[in-house]
Amino acid sequence: MFEPFTDVVPSFFGWLNQGPLTLTIFLHTVIILPMIWIYFQEKKRLENEN
Amino acid sequence: MANKSVWSDNRFWKRTATWVTGFASILLIWLTFDTSTQIAMGNDQDLQNKVTKRVPGPTVINYKITYEMSPKRGHEVPIIGGNDGKGNSLFQEKEKFFGRDDYSEKEARALLHLGKLGSQAKNCMDCHTLLGNGAYYAPDLTKAWLDPAWGPNGAMQALTGKNTKEEAMAEFLQHPDQYPTHARMMPNLGITAKEAKGLVAFLKHMSSIDTNGFPRNFGKIKGAVHGK
Amino acid sequence: MASKYLTGTGSESKQLATWYFTFAAILFGAQLLFGLVAAIQYVMPGFLYEILDFSIARMLHINALVVWMVFAMFGSVYWLLPDETGIETIGIKIGKLLFWIFAAAIVVVVLVFLFVQVGKADATTIWLITEGREYIEAPRWADWGIVVVALGFVGNLFLTGMKGRQTGIVTVLMADMIAFAGLYLAGMFFTDNISVDQYWWWWVIHLWVEATWEVFVGAIAAYGLIKMIGAHRQVVEMWLWIEVAMLFGSGILGLGHHYFWIGTPEYWWEIGALFSALEPLPLVAMFVHVLYDWGKTQGSEEEKGNTHSVINNKPAFTWFVLNAFGNFLGAGVWGFFHTLPQINLYTHGTQFTSAHGHLAFFGAYATILIGMFYIAVQGTNGIKVMKNTKASIWAVSLITGGMMGMTVALTIAGYVQVIVSRAQMGATWAAYFDGQSGMWFTQAMDWRLIMGILIFTGFIILAKDLLTTGKNPVHER
């Protein structure tokens, strides 16, 4: 499942870099996911305002 | 008023923008710490202990440097002091640099310092590219030290009347207008003999930096059309 | 001093803005002139050899570029602040003093670049002559001057923004300008380690032009839409926040596309590739946004039975629309061409980058800042509806047409370099010159020069138009 590490120095980000997409999908996910929480918070706020 | 959608609400987008910007910045800072430790310059101890660094210590100028395929990495890497046959450096084979291969850490660091200062003071980057960055009016210098043109079979040693790569390079740097290689000529920038030595040390050191295989196939291909 | 018709009416902040715009326009001319010198040198290598070498001409070309844009950006903020906040800008006296310090420092730096050019390999050169790092060659003393000036500017912006009405546009500008000024500090140190050097150098260059400057353009475009076609502020500001999220979300980590080959770890391939691949998206959004708002505002006017155009400043709006498209084409499409590492391995450090650089700086920044020049001309002359003149149409056509032609020429030159020098010959000294001697390359350079002359002609007409159109009786007052 896990690819052998190829870069010179092992590191957390290097380890996440398992193929052409793993690292960037991880980073995009952690950036985008909390927006869901912001969305529902704002939705609640808008409902309360009405 | 009818229920307003969150998607058309300014506050939602403002908070999203703040979050995305802030978190991307934090990630960048985290990555910067990680990268900084990886690209910190090594030292003589590392070379003695055969530790491969992305940016080796200045005493790498005492060693023979080549640029060879690493099956593990999938591209070419700088090989310092001989290849173990699997694309790893052996840190054994030395190479004389201006007649010596025993520069101390201090001497080598001073040479590199002078060369790096010189590269900025003479504005190399506004004609050449270094690590691929700069202007495109003159050749890339990333692996210039390994360029066959300066080697024993290249034209430049004969042209400058010198017997070694480093002396030929230093001579050229001091009097580039005397050795035209193309209609487009390097101007005389008042580089002194001492500065030239520093600059060549800087170039040799730069060729030992692990650039993830850039430039690909450097010096390997003679060319089909212009084959010699 | 600025001549009579270049002084602002009523607002000191707007008057200061016109000073910034005037100096910016002069530097823009200087940028084009030195660009022409460098372009001639590609065609005739002996031109000004050892008098004004390519390195010097090119350094002046790109530094004049950066500085005129910074001047025009400062000017734009001073121009819009009274409109947005509803109050006169605070600290305008200091602002004016800083303008003269900034302008004087720039003149000294340019004279030193021109007449001293290079120095000995020591720290004195770095402090007094040049730092020799592309785009930020200004010597260290000037760096500190720039920091002081930028702090003063940001201070004025913050004081005014916090006292007056804090619109979304002002809020974005406040956050953006402090990042813009702060990032400059990342380029103010010396290191022997060229990988570390270039790592931080990109923090300045990339996080300026692919993050903070882009957000600045978003804010200016929002201001322009409200000002020129009366777009609805709430809609415009919502778009602005979306753009900020997308620009910073892709642009900050998109920095990774500069870290493929400078000694930095392999994981940057992935981060740089995917984040920077998303960078064109907000540029598409901006393009859609400008055209959509235009059509929407015009449509709702027509519904009311009004047939006249909603645009109250035709030349400025022309440049703003060109900005929306040019930003997408130059920064977005031409950037995406070579942002993936498997392509960049061969295009990095070729005329490909140059093609992208020219169209991106022009499309994303030059256009909108020229648009701001026209807004200032309209404002200082009390014009209600400003129309296109023959000169303004000639200027925009020559400059834009020349720029597109130049980009195509440089792209073709880049192809030759990639194929011959890189892929086929293996990137050596000999490979480099084999590529440079190719027919496609040399012809491309001829075309580039011709296009450069077109652009310069366009600039002369533009300057004439900016100086005279304010008094032209065709405009509605």
pLDDT for position C6: 35
Shortest Cα distance from A39 to chain C (angstroms)? 14
Q: Is the pLDDT of residue B228 over 60?
A: no
The region of weakest confidence among A15-24, C122-131, C199-208 is A15-24
User: With contact defined as beta carbons under 8 Å apart, do C129 and C112 qualify?
Assistant: yes
Arithmetic mean of pLDDT, C419-436: 91
Whether residue C453 lies within 8 A of chain A, CB to CB, comes out as no
CB within 8 Å of chain A, chain B residues 38-67: 38, 52-54
What digits encode the pLDDT tens for the residues C141-179?
999 999 999 999 999 999 999 999 999 999 999 999 999
Which runs of consecutive H residues, i.e. helices, occur in chain B? 10-39, 44-48, 105-121, 155-160, 165-174, 193-207
Average pLDDT over every residue of B81-99? 95
Residue of chain B minimizing CA distance to A24: B27
How far apart, in Å, do the first and last CA atoms of chain C sit?
27
> What is the per-residue pLDDT for A3?
74
Q: What is the DSSP string of A10-33?
A: --HHHHH--SSSHHHHHHHHHHHH
Is it the case that residue C444 has pLDDT exceeding 60? Answer: yes
The answer to whether A9 and B34 are in contact (CB under 8 A) is no
pLDDT tens for C52-93 read 999 999 999 999 999 999 999 999 999 999 999 999 999 999
C1-190: CATH, from 3.40.50.300, 1.10.10.10, 1.20.210.10, 2.130.10.10:
1.20.210.10
CB contact under 8 A, B131 and C56: no
Confidence grade of residue C1 (pLDDT, cut at 50, 70, 90): very low
Tell me the shortest Cα–Cα distance from C472 to chain A, in angstroms.
Answer: 51
Q: Is the pLDDT of residue B1 over 60?
A: no
Q: Which two structure tokens, joined as six digits, stand for B29?
A: 């800072």
Q: Which amino acid is residue C41, in one-letter code? A: Q
Cα separation, C122 vs C141, whole angstroms: 15
Q: Which of A24, A29, A38 to mutate to test the interface with C (most CBs of C within 10 A)?
A: A24
Confidence of residue B148 (pLDDT cuts 50, 70, 90): very high
Nearest Cα to C71, choosing from C119, C123, C30, C112?
C30
Q: Residues C187, C204: contact at Cβ < 8 Å?
A: yes
Count Cβ atoms below 10 Å from residue C460 Cβ, excluding itself.
Answer: 14
pLDDT of residue B222: 58
- pLDDT recorded at residue B224: 47
Residues of B within 8 A of A6 (CB-CB) are 72-74
And the tokens for B49? 């202990």
Closest partner residue to A38 among B1, B3, B12, by Cβ? B12
Residue B171: its pLDDT value, please? Answer: 97
Residue of C249, C267, C273 with shortest CB distance to A13: C267
What residue spans define the domains of chain C?
1-190
Question: If we measure between CA atoms, which residue out of C76, C378, C88 comes closest to residue C223?
Answer: C76
Chain A neighbors of C265, CB-CB under 8 A: 7-9, 11, 13-14
Mean pLDDT computed over every residue of chain B: 93
**Averaged pLDDT for residues C252-260:** 96
- The pLDDT, as a whole number, for residue C205 is 96
Residue A21's pLDDT band, with cuts at 50, 70 and 90, is confident
**List of chains touching B (3+ CB pairs within 8 A):** A, C
**Average pLDDT of B57-72?**
95
Q: Which has more pLDDT, B134 or A8?
A: B134
Residue C273's pLDDT is 93
Q: What is the pLDDT of residue C187?
A: 92
Among C262, C436, C440, C445, most B C-beta atoms within 10 A, so best to mutate, is C262
pLDDT for residue C2 is more than 50: no
Question: How far apart are the C-alpha atoms of C131 and C138, rounded to whole Å?
Answer: 6
Per-residue pLDDT at C252:
96
Nearest residue in chain A measured CA to CA from C276: A24
pLDDT in tens, A30-43: 999 999 999 999 99
Q: What percent of chain C has pLDDT over 90?
A: 95
Contacts of C292 (CB under 8 A, 6+ apart): none
pLDDT at C295 over 50: yes
pLDDT at B16 over 60: yes
DSSP C218-287: HHHHHHHHHHHH---HHHHHHHHHHHHHHHHHHHHHHGGGGSSSSS--THHHHHHHHHHHTTHHHHHHHH
Return the partners of chain C (3 or more C-beta pairs < 8 Å): A, B
Average pLDDT rounded to a whole number, residues C218-238? 94
Min Cα separation A2/chain B (Å): 16
Going by their DSSP bridges, the two strands B129-130 and B133-134 should be labelled as antiparallel
One DSSP character per residue, C54-92 reads: HHHHHHHHHHHHHHHHHHHHHHHHHHHHHHHHSSPPTTH
Q: Residue B58: which residues within 8 A CB-CB, separation 6 or more?
A: B41, B103, B105, B108, B109, B111, B112, B201, B205, C192
| Token pair of B108 as six digits | 């080598």
pLDDT for res B3:
67
Mean pLDDT of all residues in chain A? 87
- For residue C238, what pLDDT band results from cuts at 50, 70 and 90? very high
**Taking all residues of chain C, what is their mean pLDDT, rounded to a whole number?**
94
* Measured distance CA(B142)–CA(B67) in Å, rounded: 12
d(CA C194, CA C134): 13
pLDDT of residue A1: 58
- Whether B74 and chain A come into contact, CB under 8 Å, resolves to yes
* Yes or no, beta carbons of C271 and A27 under 8 Å apart: yes
